[in-house]
Every structure is written in structure tokens, then in C-alpha cells.
Structure 1
């Protein structure tokens, strides 16, 4: 049995690991992978057709623990536990092989709280503390009528019967389990990384110019606890920026990936006329930002950006954190050009679906490119192919459920002698 400590409104864990409320999905999965010999039989549960309408769940079936992640920001919002593991509070166990989690034991461990609430549909009593709630099962179905609201002038339903056992426990933020939200990411989850709070796509009338990143970071290295606060930064990266520009703005990437082939080369105007390059273009992968930056192998200047939504059911799921990107769009209505904002996924959720984007931008003139992904030539992708559509110097990768898996931005080439867009516009 796992031996875990409960901290209301904060976490469930032990000395080796901790599932903290507000933790990114990727970090929770990393803990499970690291301790796979102890924590076994983990399921990933999500809605395939409407992934934004339902929580994303990591179900630890062997240990009776469910981790519920907010569908939009993919941060942990609720720990649900069926009490089949050893659990303590402030160092004192209230459930173990020797201690049964009865109502008397919970009262002794946690102290007084408001009266219990009886749910007739579930036939469960709910006892609520701040950031923590317990559900108690009746001993038999025959006891249920005693606790209906119309019995004993409604007061009987407030009294949890003696000896009632805890069926499950919830850890969450705030006073109301039904209204709880994933809190901001705690300091302990930064681990020296930088995260993107949001990413704005900068553009002119022709198309994208670059990215403006709103970043969050916490102190790292010596004195990290002394500098226990989150700092906000803004950094801008443009097409044509050099490697040094990007490294100076964002720091070192998590990985550098060299392209071995260009699968889209066949769709260029004259692929047979292109001279094979002696070196390969390469990506800077910033996994915690949800962003890839492609550099030209000859000039070492930025030529593309890739923004990832990290939907479950996509081949690259859990490699990147979700990128909350905003793209200003230029829409033609009759003879009038209208500017609006494409925000994926936190404000206008419907605009994350391809049908709604086409209603704004119009339908692509060409058929989509079908993108197959597999780790080797003999492997199959269990999630199926995706479709790539090009509009306004952007390539939308669309999953089979109509949601956007990624957006690739490409811009006009800029040489090192040309000024950055921000500096040229500021001179006017």
C-alpha cells in the first residue's frame, strides 16, 4: 500500500513525490513514469470528440486515486481518492491497515466542521472541510429512508451515522468542490523552467511577423527559496532573428532537433529544381512553452514557429505543455477588412475548431496535406492521420475530431541587414 500525506488545498504525496494542485499534466505524468514500479496500471481518460468539455483524468486504478486536470489549462484541480491506501494528516494516520476511516476517526483527526450533507441520489453523506471533503457510505440500503430530508423534521440528514466508513476523499482549492478551479501553478512546480502564460502572434496585413511571449519564471539556482516569488517577463521573437537573439530572449531550448527530411518539399512549386542542402534546418524545442522555432541551416535565422495545443489523442501528446496562443486575424466582409482575435483555447473555445476558423477566414483553395506520424516505417499511429490546411501564411494541423493540434507560422524572409519589425515601426 502507498503511504501518503494529505495537505488540504495543496497536495497529496510523500517524501519521494507530490501531486500538487495547480501542477501541469506533464509533471504528474513524469512522476508516474519515474515511479512506475510502485504505481502501476495508470489510465488516461478523456473525451475524444469534445476534449474541452470534460476533465482530463489520470486514473491510478491499482491505488484508487484519480487526478482530475482542467481541460483548458491542463493543470491539476482535484485529487480523488478511494481510501485503499495509507493516508495521514499532519503526520497522524486516519486510514491504514490498522486504522479504519470511520466518521469518528475523521472527527478525531480533523476536528469540528459543518454538519454533513446527505445526497439521496448517491446515498452518500458528504462532510466538507476547506479544501477537503469526505464521502461516507451507509451500511445498508435500509438505512437510507432515515436520512431523507423529510424524516425527523429534516435534522436527521445532518447527522452522519456512527461507524460510517469513508468511501472516497477529494482534495481541491476553496470551499466548494463543485465550483473549484485549478489554482495557479505552485512555486515547487517551476523547477528552474520558464513557462508561457500566453503567446500573442504579431502580424501585419500580409501575415505573421513573430511572437510576443508572456512568460512566468521563479528563482532557480542558489537561494531559490529566498526568492520565493513568480516573476512575469515579456519577450518578442521575429522571423529573421538569429540564434543569438532567441537564446538571449528565451534561454537555452530543452532540445535541438535537426530535420532529416522535409516532408512538405513535394508541395513546393518546383521541388525538382531545389538544390539539396549539405546541412539540415533545425528546431529549438521549448517544451514548457509549447513552442518550436525553426532555423534556416544556411543563415541560422528564424524561418518558422510551431505552436502546440497538446490535445489528448494527438501523436505528440504530453511532449509539449499547452500553448495558449492568440492570433489576430484579418477577415474580409464584403469590401471591409475586419480585425479580430483567434484565441486558442482559453477565451473563444469554439474557435479552436476548424469549422469555426473557416467561417472566419474562408475555405482553403487547395486540398489538405495528409500528415502521417509514426516512430518508424513499420509502426502505425493509433490516433490516425491529421490534415494540414494553409491560410494567411499559417498552417493549421487539424485532428479528426475537428480540433487544432498545432499552428505553424511562416513569414517573409528577412536578412540580417534588415531591421527588426519593432525597431522599424518605432522610427515612424
Structure 2
């Protein structure tokens, strides 16, 4: 049986598993040689941990974080984001050709004429783009952290759940319906089944000289754009208001 892997090297080879770790959080389970593997369970996360929290998305409206129940809508200010998510890991000035990461204690880029700028939340797998003049949110960028992308291991995977706007209702109602949701594990062919065909893609090189995995393809819909790797996995999702 052929198994698809999310990573393929330029020469056509794929990684080989060298170690498997099984965690047993209970001394009574006795997971080991000869025991049932389904008895193993990962150790619990610390209270308040944001690792792998679900980030719910309603297209063109807002992000909802399940840990702490924060809501961040389009048009929110840097102060609003600071209050909800805390200090960003860095600030990336969009107007600069090379990425410049500033101290997270400095809320705005160090320029007299302020261009658009990002708040980078690497531990949440999230970037937030602000308008340099109004200082309101213009875009969200969600990262899946799949191997084979130029940003691999720069961000923790954003565990997003994207709901199509025509579903309506609250996050809880749509989530419970289990209908037409897009997650980091949704492949491009499945996205097209949900949203329909969007036509030809734009090619994104990601600095091909330093990225051995080559270019990616960007497909756009109303309020959302998908960056897709050659193996069909989603690398990033950009959310905006049309």
C-alpha cells in the first residue's frame, strides 16, 4: 500500500523513521513490549498551555482562541492584540526588503514613516499584519509548520479550524455540526471540494536559492488565500477582508 508523506527531498527520497517514543502517563497501564499500543497516552499539558489550542476562524470576521476564549476581529488595534495574546515574539516591517525582527517590547516598527508591519507569534503559529497608517489589523497568516517549507520549524503549528461564512451561527453551533471545516490536515484537493475551483495559482518562490524544496503555489478566494506545497499540503493560510 502506497503511503503519502508530507516531505520529499529534491532527489525523490523521503525521510526514514529512526526512533518512536511512547509516553505512558499512568504506572498502571504498563505499556511496553507485548502490551497494547492503544493504552499509551501523551502526558498532560501544563494548565493554561496554548500548545495545539484550536484557533477557530470565521472568514472575513475574526479569530477565536479556545484557550482563554480570546476574540480578535479584523480592525483590532495593536493594543487590543497585546491585551488578548500578550507580547509578540517580534515585529516584522513589511516595507523592509529583508526581515527585521525587533524587540517585542517595542510595539511599533522603528521608522518615521510607518509602513505595514507584522506582529509575529511564533509559539502560536500566527502572524498579524497591521496597516501602517491606521494601525488596524489587515491580515492574519496561519502556519501549518509542515516539513518541506521555507518556514519549517520557525513556527509551531497553528491548529486552526476554518468555517465557511455561509454556514452562519456561532462557533459552537458550526463546530458541533462537523460541516465543511478546513484544518491543517486538510489537503488542497479537499479544500477545492469545499470551496470550489478558484482558477490558476500564483507562483511563490520563497527565495529559491536558499530553499531546496522550490516554489509553492498560492490560490485565492474571497477573504482567504492558500499557499500550497507541491505535495498538496497547505503551508500557510492568509486571511483578509475583501
TM-score normalised by structure 2 residue count: 0.73
Which of 167, 187, 191 is the equivalent residue of 1:357?
191
The yes-or-no answer on 1:370 pairing with 2:203 is yes
Q: Which residue of 1 aligns with 2:10?
A: none
* 8 Å Cα contact 2:180/2:194 also seen in 1: no
Higher strand share: 1
Q: Secondary structure at the match of 1:355?
A: helix
Unaligned runs of 5+ in 1: 1-46, 60-65, 69-76, 80-128, 136-174, 216-232, 263-276, 333-338, 413-428
Per-residue deviation, residues 319-340 of structure 1 (Å, max 9, x unmatched) = 11111111111579xxxxxx93
User: Is the 2:202–2:217 contact (alpha carbons within 8 Å) kept by the matching residues of 1?
Assistant: yes
Q: Distance in 1 between matches of 2:157 and 2:17?
A: 17
| 1:315 paired residue number | 150
> In the alignment, is the contact (CA less than 8 A) between 1:330 and 1:340 conserved in 2?
no
Q: Any idea what the Cα deviations from partners look like across 1:290-309, whole Å, max 9, x if unmatched?
A: 11111111111110001111
Correspondence for 2:88: 253
Taking a change above 3 Å as real, the CA distance of residues 186 and 288 of structure 1, as seen in their structure-2 partners, is same
| Compared CA separation, residues 241 and 252, structure 1 to 2 (3 A) | same
Aligned counterparts, 1:29-428, within 5 A: 49-51=4-6, 59=18, 66=19, 68=20, 78=22, 130-131=30-31, 133=32, 176-177=36-37, 180-186=40-46, 194-203=50-59, 208-215=60-67, 233-260=68-95, 278-330=113-165, 340-345=179-184, 349=185, 352-365=186-199, 367-374=200-207, 379-411=209-241
Larger relative CO (CA 8 A, sep 6+): 1 or 2?
2
Structure 2 stretches lacking a partner, 5+ long: 8-14, 24-28, 98-111, 168-177
CA positional deviation for 1:392:
2.2
Count of matched residue positions in the alignment of Structure 1 and Structure 2: 206
Q: CA RMSD in A?
A: 3.3
Evaluate the alpha carbon distance shift between residue 48 and residue 290 of structure 1 in structure 2; reply closer, same or farther with a 3 A threshold.
farther
- The structural deviation recorded for 1:57 is 7.9
* Inter-partner Cα distance in structure 1 for 2:3 and 2:117: 32
User: Larger C-alpha radius of gyration, 1 or 2?
Assistant: 1
> When the two structures are superposed, what TM-score results if normalisation uses the length of structure 1?
0.43
Local SS of the residue matching 2:235: strand
In the alignment, the residues of structure 2 paired with residue 410 and residue 214 of structure 1 have an alpha-carbon distance, to the nearest angstrom, of: 21
